[in-house]
Structure 1
Amino acid sequence: MKCVKPLLLASAIAACVCVQADELNKVIQSSDKINQLATGSQKKIDGMVDSMQTRLQQYKTLNKEIDGLEIYNSQLNKQVNNQLAELDSLAQSMDQVAVIERQITPLMLRMINGLEQFVQLDVPFLAKERSDRVASLKSMMDRADIASSEKFRRVLEAYQVEVDYGRTIEAYTSLLDVNGVEREVDFLRVGRLDLIYLTRDGKLAGIWNNQTKAFDPLPDSNISQINKALRIARKQLAPDMLTLPVQAAE
């Protein structure tokens, strides 16, 4: 009977230890759950922080784009305003063009008639070519498919050709009535100063007399210089001094 108490005490202690162990396990389990929840919460917080950083960066980027678009729109507004001003100017110009076009047509007709009279009264070099040019201009004026600007350009071009004749030397071959016989001759044009012919056999030469509207015969002493001038005009000889007859102007 004396041994029963120690056994009971040991059993009680063991039972108490078991109870404490169970409670400790529960505490440990609860701590693990808390740690897991804390870890999950931290992950959520980290995710939210990352998301906020990303959105903040996107916000800053969008602000920069907005600033750039505002500058771009401001520049576009300036360009649009300039284009509107140009449109107004063009509209005014178009109204003026209509007036100018009504005035330019009579001017061109007068210019063509003046050119025709000039060719008829001028030294008769390249007569067919020049008369055909005038005829072409007259025909052009009746055409509706050619703009007035193009017509005016061609009239000015014809005038420029005539101006160039006065400062160039030229040699060309054509037919001419010489002493009642049509012969092939070489013509020498020196500006508008001289129009001289030389027969192909080199025996007869003449110079245009604008007063009599006919060719006057030249002596044989001029033939060598005329030949030389023809070769210079054809670029067969280098430019050199020439002694040629000149019709005196009145």
Structure 2
Amino acid sequence: MKFTKTLSAVLLVSLLAGQAAFAQQDKELQPVVDAAAKINESAADSQSKINNITDQIGSKLQQFKTINKEIDGLMVYNKQLEKQIANQQQEMLDLNNAIDEVSVIERQITPLMIRMIDGLAQFVELDVPFLEEERANRIIDLRNMMDRADVAPSEKFRRVMEAYQVEMDYGRTLEAYPGLHTIDGQERNVDFLRIGRTALIYQTRDAGMQGIWNKQTRQWEPLSSDYRTQITKGLRMAKKQMAPDLLMLPVAITD
């Protein structure tokens, strides 16, 4: 019994001593635990920062890739633009060369047109005297046109050629037109009949008198009344009042 009590006392003392030792160990370990907790907390913060930095790097990397694509596109565009600029510069060079050539042509063609107008005027003067006022005015208009700076050389040349074409057409057409003609010192209303440049004939409105232009003597000569019907017929044909038909009229024959 005494032994038992003694053993109990020893156990109690041992337990108390162990508790004291554990308490002392807890005090010593607590700073370590606190430090570990702080380390874990700091590690979590660091990981969060790392995650944020990783996200930022990913975003910047995507921006970098996007910008690189834009740069590649701009480089392609710039190359194409350089080609266009080079082509435009070549076109400007060609245009300047063409302008220089046109200036040379203008200097050469202007005297040519003046000579052509002079030649046309001389031709009209020596030709059969039909539509004299109209043809003379055409020559005057051409001369006035040559003095105008607002008319392009190409337009001037076109109008000169047009006047030549009109004169050429006279040689293969049949025409009737009214006019005044002096007969025996008296001015009379007549109808002129032009058969190309082969014959120019007049007939008074009452068909009582008629005449023809003599190319050799360059004078008007009266025609016999025998041609009255044929002249009247020719006038009607020229006015589209009857179908074309054979005409029996005098024609001057030149060597």
Structure 1 residue 90 displacement after superposition: 4.0
2:70 to 53, 56, 61: 61
1:127 and 2:132 aligned? yes
Partner Cα separation in structure 1 for residue 25 and residue 95 of structure 2: 103
Secondary structure of the residue aligned to 1:186 is strand
2:222 to 181, 193, 216: 216
1:228 and 2:236 aligned? yes
Partner Cα separation in structure 2 for residue 154 and residue 72 of structure 1: 44
The 5 Å alignment of 1:59-208 reads: 59-84=68-93, 86-88=95-97, 90-91=99-100, 94=103, 96-97=104-105, 100=108, 104-105=110-111, 107-138=112-143, 143=147, 145=149, 149=153, 151-208=156-213
User: What TM-score does the superposition give when structure 1 sets the normalisation length?
Assistant: 0.73
Matched residue count: 241
> Any unmatched runs of 5+ in structure 2?
1-7
> Any unmatched runs of 5+ in structure 1?
none
Go from structure 1 to structure 2 and tell me whether the alpha carbon gap of 1:17 and 1:174 turns closer, same or farther (over 3 Å shift). Answer: same
AA aligned to 2:68 is Y
1:241 and 2:253 aligned? no
> Is contact 1:229–1:242 with CA below 8 Å preserved after alignment?
no
AA aligned to 2:78 is L
| Larger displacement relative to structure 2 (126-135 or 176-185) | 176-185
User: What TM-score does the superposition give when structure 2 sets the normalisation length?
Assistant: 0.72
Partner Cα separation in structure 1 for residue 234 and residue 108 of structure 2: 50
Structure 1 residue 22 displacement after superposition: 8.0
Secondary structure of the residue aligned to 1:183 is strand
Go from structure 1 to structure 2 and tell me whether the alpha carbon gap of 1:79 and 1:130 turns closer, same or farther (over 3 Å shift). Answer: same
CA-based RMSD of the aligned residues comes to 3.7
Partner Cα separation in structure 1 for residue 101 and residue 114 of structure 2: 27
The 5 Å alignment of 1:26-41 reads: 27-28=36-37, 30-41=39-50
Partner Cα separation in structure 1 for residue 72 and residue 85 of structure 2: 20
Partner Cα separation in structure 2 for residue 63 and residue 225 of structure 1: 87
Match of 2:4 in 1: none
**Structure with larger Rg:** 2
Fraction of identical pairs, as percent? 33
